[in-house]
Structure 1
Amino acid sequence: MEKRMVFWNTTPRHTRRDALKGLAGLAVAVGVLPLAPLAAVAADSSRNILIAYFSHTGNTRTVAEMIHAAVGGDMFEIRAAEPYPSEHSATERRARKEWEDNARPALAIEFPVDMSAYDAIFIGYPNWFRTTPMIVRTFLEQFGFAGKTLVPFCTHGGNGLADSPRDIAQSCPQATLVEGFAVRGSRAAKAQDDVLAWLQEKNFLTR
């Protein structure tokens, strides 16, 4: 379970070949990605990117790191003011109650920079009860993201994105939603090629 906010700002411009090299280096991290800034590559320097993510076990963070290595931009870790338990069943009970109550848990840290600086916001999360964790809904609704492009990505145990795109659209009705990316949590550390292919398909990488 992650216990600190990560916020980076790196925007150098490189090519897809550079991205491939960066992700190849990422793959040697023995399944655990470093928390230090990685070499970032921005497909379009005029497009300001934020990668905001919630990760409980570390799988979603792994994918967030891969996206950051490929497109650059800033990173922000979404954290609950009351941390989720590290024990699985306790987390499941709390997450289910939040989902059933349609709760909006408080954020541990407010976003430290003016959100208007960003054009595209990647939103990462584990699939809990076929949708986003409710703490992610708190983050989305705090800003609304009117006129922004939202790019969801999730880790899951078998349900893919499930209902999360619909629910993100309900939380941010004036945002544009891009088709998201999903990977099984057990495969997150080996998802580099799939991440790159998705980013290229959605025009976040130069060819």
Structure 2
Amino acid sequence: MNDILIVYYSLFQHTRNLAVEIAKQTGGTLRELIPEKNYSFDYNTAAKEVRNEISRRFCPKLIFGNESIDGYQTIFIGTPNWFKTLAPPVMSFLKQHDFTGKTVIPFCTHGGGGFCQIENDIARECLKSITLPGLAVNGTFTSEEVTNWLKLIRYESLGKV
């Protein structure tokens, strides 16, 4: 097993597509976070559900993706930007693991809002980790964009790219 994990939550597959590209370029293991209760596939209904959960700081139970991270040193964490922060299933994952001494690298997909508070929220939950600058993608992306980001954060100097 390699020591790279790419964890993500994706409702409409945008974040998943980015996670797959990161896995392709790093050789990392993909792990999708699946909450016990699915969100609606209707955007407006899902937005109401998510806004409610975020305002209550609700962390849904995960039925998949919450396995141990002990064997991994580098963890990419992906989420859609939902109301300026990360998706509740990602917060559930963060709260249930110890990231001490690990390298954490955030990434997100968004509809124009960029990272907003996502990088800060991840860093706050992973205080004893090394957090590298993330990648925020609006809509589509190219594999070259991901390659350039990995070079920018000097990820290739760790022998990973």
- How high is the TM-score relative to the length of structure 1? 0.72
Richer in strand (by share): 2
**Which residue in the other structure is 1:155 paired with?**
109
TM-superposed CA distance for 1:203, in Å, is 2.5
1:204 to 142, 155, 160: 155
TM-superposed CA distance for 1:122, in Å, is 0.2
CA distance in 1, matches of 2:98, 2:125: 7
**Which residue in the other structure is 1:176 paired with?**
130
**Which residue in the other structure is 2:52 paired with?**
97
CA distance in 2, matches of 1:88, 1:111: 26
Q: Trace 1:33-72 onto structure 2 (pairs within 5 A).
A: 48-72=3-27
**Which residue in the other structure is 1:5 paired with?**
none
TM-superposed CA distance for 1:192, in Å, is 1.4
Q: Trace 1:7-22 onto structure 2 (pairs within 5 A).
A: none
Q: Is the 8 A contact 1:71 1:204 kept in 2?
A: no
Which stretches in structure 2 are left out of the alignment for 5+ residues? none
Greater than 6 Å deviation, 4+ residue runs = none
1:157-188 deviations in Å (ceiling 9; x for gaps): 1111111111112222212211000010x22x
Q: Does 1:85 align with 2:40?
A: yes
Letter in 2 for 1:173: L
CA distance in 1, matches of 2:95, 2:40: 24
1:127-181 deviations in Å (ceiling 9; x for gaps): 0011101111100110031111110000001111111111112222212211000
Indicate the structure (1 or 2) with the bigger Cα radius of gyration: 1
Q: Does 1:194 align with 2:149?
A: no
SS in 1 for 2:133: coil
Q: Percent identity?
A: 34
TM-superposed CA distance for 1:110, in Å, is 4.9
1:49-77 deviations in Å (ceiling 9; x for gaps): 00000011011111111111100121100
CA distance in 2, matches of 1:92, 1:191: 27
